Amino acid sequence: MNKIRLFSLTAGMLIMNLMAFAQQFATIKGTITTSNGKPAAYISVGLKGNAHGTLTDDNGKFIINRVKPGTYTIKASAVGINASEKSITVVAGEIKMIDFVLSENDQALEEVTVAGKNNRYKISLPSASLRLNEPLLEAPQNIQTVTGQAIKDQQIISMSDGLIRNVSGAVRVEHWGDMYTNITMRGSQIQAMRNGFNVVSSYWGPLTEDMSFVDHIEFVKGPAGFMLGNGDPSGMYNVVTKKPTGFNRGEVSFTLGSFDLYRTTVDFDHKLTSDGKLLLRLNAAVQNKGSFRPYEQNDRYSFAPVLSYQITNKTKLTAEYTFQNAKMTEVGSYYIFSPKGYAAFPRELTLTQPGLPATRINDQSLFLNLQHNFDDNWKLTAQAAYFKYNQVGTSSWPSAVNANNTVIRSVSIWDAESSMKLAQLFINGQLKTGGINHRILAGFDGGKKNYIADWGQSHNLDLPTSPFDLNNPDYGFPSNGYPNFDRITPLAQRAINAGGLMDSKYLSAYAQDELGFFNNKVRLTLAGRYTYVSQSAWGGSPDKAKHVTPRVGLSVSIDKNTAIYAVYDEAFTPQSGLIRNGGKVEPITGTNNEIGIKKDWFDGKWNTTLSAYRIFKQNELTADPTNTPGQNFSVVLGEKRAQGIEFDLRGKITDGLTLIANYAYTDAKVTEVTPGVAGINVGDVIPGFARHVSNAWLTYTLQQGPLKGSGISGGFTYLAGRATDTWSVGLQKLPNYFKLDGGLFYERQKFKITGNAFNILNKYLFSGSYYQWLNAYYYQAEAPRNYRLSVAYKF
């Protein structure tokens, strides 16, 4: 509490100092629509002969702050439409309302919206699901967005397919194949969100989203409980799915790739009624995908229709259904175990056994979203979601690794089912009291999650007298035969026997006021959140906790393109687990301190963010280093500290040249150890991160000539100081990592060809760790040099 008082006092003194130098400005607000009343998104609005300018949002609204008193010509323009101009006069302290009606209809503006929204690497506004009613530049938080265009250019087809190269400090140490994403950032695994809902129902996370129905992904650094509910103070990522745009358009694409990759996607966007009130967006994908390892597959299909209905001019209802089906090789098939060290065998080696049934997964979700605009300043959002997940499959892991490079392969059943019922209600608003602007956010979150799994049955494929030889693998009939697991007994009963039960119930309420001083040049954020959670894991008794956490943030605009910020948060994250001696599980507590600077360059064409943070977490559970196979005991870590520096750059540098580049330095260590905990010491490195992470992706497009629309792109990922993903680190460290990718593309209006090569240098890339109970290293190799070719057609 003393820290909060000190922070508030410092903020107050800064405000008083700025007051002496403050000038009175005007604000210009308005809406741009087409002649038939539709909002015109991503239209450029600015003052002629002046640097002040902005873009309209999805609803055609714009705001230009800090305009000096005087007479101006305001202009609305975009490539491909006729500009519109108006003469205006503003006085100090005035909020001037100016609206434009463009003569072009919404069909003529289709390409303007598509170009403004999708064909950029930089997005200046958060999605509605983040609940922030302000530009990202003004938010006292580090938020990075991976755009749909970046996803297409890099030929990313799922959440686990190179996406994190676009965000500073994000790594995946234990990959889990393409089943779970499991991203680590700022020293901890971050939470997975979709359209503002936390979609994690177990320790491993949701099935990776296929990119066919994803519009963009937002990475929020640091605590985000005031936005999206319970989560880790290290951050979260929010997958924003595609919604109807109000335009009649579509796209079909075909992708061919190395290792038997065949993929087709369809994106259909259409008005169902002539007045544009009822809209449809349908995305679907079908994929067959092999691997550089034999006998491995990842076949999928997805289907994602979205209906949007404009009930009144102020009220809109959106319904969204997503279905994903996966047929893949059992989890664990991509790991190699070695008593000698990392990369001891050819990367094409696999421990899977031909003839094992594939793991089948059905993942379904239903979203309902109701938005009501009371007026231009106040909006109410109510949304609910239902998730259903079914899995029938297996996982493989050796029961023994011998010094002579032989192993006993073991296969365990992994049947699982989960359901989530989630609801949110929140209100965004703006008002003014005297000379202070207020951006208000308040609401409720609630949910119920259940996860059951049977992983209690296992079978050795190999006999001790006839083990699997890593030097001379034999994929014939296994010496101990195939498993015959019990699937007649209902899963609910099998999960009880296996201890595979997890559930949680939560309810939270929050309120936030961002106070804007001096025409919103200085913004002080005051927020609080009440959280109640009851949850359990591994069949143990529920752990219940409730707490109130504050949040204080300060953001100051140095000029219209530059803002500095500071934020202080207190972490409170309830957790569940089993402690070997039956001890009580306490919630995670801690603090986060962060400062940063954000800047838009050259009229907002590109942006940079530089931030520094320090996070302390107490009472966090971590896997007991003394666990043996089948044990899920945890230990209380005591306290850990994560600190670092992050830098992100993204956007259009010059005409035709776009760049995404980032760097992060992360230091995560144990600062206190709970008495009685063995195998962990003060100063130990926290598993699961890289000390240095650097990425870049550069794209250049020819702007004229016979090859106009063609171009070249390329990028790299570099990791140094990699920490393994277990506490048992063995004698070998993970080597530094460098991956180079690049390709060519050609685009003409409705037609585009994209080709990329991945791991161009054909390096032996891998991640892994050491298991004490096996006396062996394990690692997962990445694919050698490989290629993808995509052809897309817009209609």
Beta bridge partners of 320: 306, 367
Residue 35 confidence (pLDDT): 67
**Nearest CA to 776 among 470, 465, 354, 460?**
470
Longest CA span, the chain: 91
pLDDT of residue 591: 84
Report for 24-38, 168-182, 711-725: range of highest mean pLDDT: 711-725
Q: Are strands 191-194 and 235-241 parallel, antiparallel or unpaired?
A: parallel
Q: Given this model, what pLDDT does residue 78 score?
A: 64
Tell me which range, 35-49, 416-430, 533-547, is most confidently predicted by mean pLDDT. 416-430
Contact 360, 392 (CB under 8 A): yes
pLDDT value at 357 more than 90? yes
Cα angle 360, 361, 362 (rounded to 5 degrees) comes to 130
Question: Residue 389's pLDDT is what?
Answer: 94
- Identify which of 582, 621, 615 has the alpha carbon closest to the alpha carbon of residue 727: 621
Q: Which run of H or E residues covers position 485?
A: none
Nearest to 55 by CA among 91, 30, 90, 88: 30
Q: What is the pLDDT of residue 472?
A: 95
Q: How many CB atoms lie within 10 A of CB 356?
A: 19
Provide the CATH topology of domain 128-241: Ferric Hydroxamate Uptake Protein; Chain A, domain 1 (2.170.130)
Residue type at 643? Q
The lowest-confidence range among 43-57, 85-99, 332-346, 744-758 is: 43-57
pLDDT at 361 over 90: yes
The CA distance from 779 to 765, in Å, is 10
d(CA 64, CA 43): 13
Residue 290 pLDDT class (50, 70, 90 cuts): very high
The ranges assigned to domains in the chain are 2-107, 128-241, 249-406+421-794
- Average pLDDT for residues 379-383, to the nearest whole number? 96
pLDDT above 70: residue 112: no
Let me know if domain 249-406+421-794 sits in CATH 3.50.30.50.
no
Structure tokens at 257: 């790739």
Which of the two residues, 242 and 40, has the higher pLDDT score?
Answer: 242
Please state, as a whole number, how many other Cβ atoms lie within 10 Å of the Cβ of residue 117.
20
Local confidence band at 10 (pLDDT 50, 70, 90 cut-offs): very low
- Better-scored residue on pLDDT, 111 or 175: 175
Q: State mean pLDDT over 729-747.
A: 91
Rounded to 10 degrees, the C-alpha dihedral 126/131/136/142 comes to: -110
Q: Residue 614 class from Cβ within 10 Å (0-12 exposed, 13-18 middle, 19+ buried)? A: middle
How far apart CA 257 and CA 248 sit, in angstroms, is 31
Tell me: the pLDDT tens digits for 569-598? 887 776 766 777 766 677 777 788 999 999
- pLDDT (mean) for 681-686: 86
Nearest to 286 by CA among 267, 263, 303: 263
Q: Which residues contact 110 (CB under 8 A, 6 or more apart)?
A: 247, 249
CATH topology of domain 2-107: Immunoglobulin-like (2.60.40)
Q: What is the mean pLDDT of residues 721-731?
A: 80
Cα distance between residue 334 and residue 215, in whole Å = 30
Indicate the pLDDT class of residue 441, thresholds 50, 70 and 90: very high
pLDDT of 419 reads 95
What pLDDT does 586 receive?
74
Per-residue model confidence (pLDDT) at position 105: 42
What's the CA gap between 272 and 76, in Å, rounded? 30
Is the pLDDT confidence value at 145 over 80?
yes
pLDDT band at 11 (very low <50, low <70, confident <90, very high): very low
At 611, give phi and psi (nearest 5°): -140, 155
What is the structure's pLDDT at 605? 84
Sign of CA dihedral 207, 385, 226, 578: negative
Q: What average pLDDT does the segment 418-436 reach?
A: 93
Q: What are phi and psi of 182, to 5 degrees?
A: 50, 75
pLDDT confidence of residue 20: 40
User: 660 CB contacts (<8 Å, ≥6 apart)?
Assistant: 121, 150, 166, 649, 650, 695, 696, 697, 698, 715
**pLDDT tens digit string along 630-665?**
676 777 878 889 999 999 999 989 888 999 999 999
What is the rounded CA–CA span in Å between residue 454 and residue 565? 48
- Comparing 2-107 with 128-241, is the CATH topology the same? no
Decide if pLDDT at 117 tops 70.
no
CA angle 297, 300, 305 (to 5 degrees): 170
Which pair of tokens denotes residue 32?
Answer: 């741009």
Residue 231 confidence (pLDDT): 60
Q: What is the mean pLDDT of residues 243-270?
A: 94
Q: How far apart are CA 750 and CA 614, in angstroms?
A: 48
Query: What is the distance in angstroms between the CA of the first residue and the CA of the last residue of the chain?
Result: 59
The pLDDT tens digits for 766-777 are 999 998 888 999
Helix (H, G, I), strand (E, B) or coil at 774: coil
> What's the pLDDT at 229?
54
Q: Report CA torsion sign: 216, 221, 226, 231.
A: positive
Q: Which of 100-109, 253-262, 707-716 has the highest mean pLDDT?
A: 253-262
> Alpha-carbon distance 573 to 233, whole Å?
8
Contacts 24+ apart (CB under 8 A), 673-681: 673/637, 673/638, 674/635, 674/636, 674/637, 674/638, 676/581, 677/635, 677/636, 677/637, 677/638, 678/625, 678/626, 679/624, 679/625, 679/626, 679/727, 679/728, 680/622, 680/625, 680/635, 680/637, 680/727
Percent of the chain with pLDDT over 90: 55
CA count, 13 A, side-chain hemisphere, 77: 11
Please give the Cα distance from 704 to 519 (Å, whole number).
Answer: 43
Residue 430 has pLDDT above 50, yes or no: yes
Cα angle vertex 62, ends 56, 68, to 5°? 135
In 3-state terms the chain splits into helix, strand, coil percentages (rounded to 5) of 5, 55, 40
Of 566, 574, 558, residue with least CA distance to 507 = 574
> By mean pLDDT, which of 189-203, 333-347, 452-466 is the weakest?
189-203
Strand order in the sheet with 143-146: 143-146, 214-221, 235-241, 191-194, 197-198
Any residues with CB less than 8 A from the CB of 171 and at least 6 apart, and which?
164, 183, 184, 185, 688, 689, 690, 693, 719, 722
Contacts of 400 (CB under 8 A, 6+ apart): 407, 408, 464, 467, 774
> Band of the pLDDT at 699, cuts 50, 70, 90?
very high
Going by pLDDT thresholds of 50, 70 and 90, the confidence category of residue 246 is: confident
Q: What mean pLDDT is reported for the chain?
A: 87
And the tokens for 788?
């993808």
* pLDDT on residue 22: 40
pLDDT of 223 higher than 80 = no
In angstroms, the CA 19 to CA 23 distance is 8
Q: What pLDDT score does 45 carry?
A: 86
Residue 348: CB atoms within 10 A of its CB come to 12
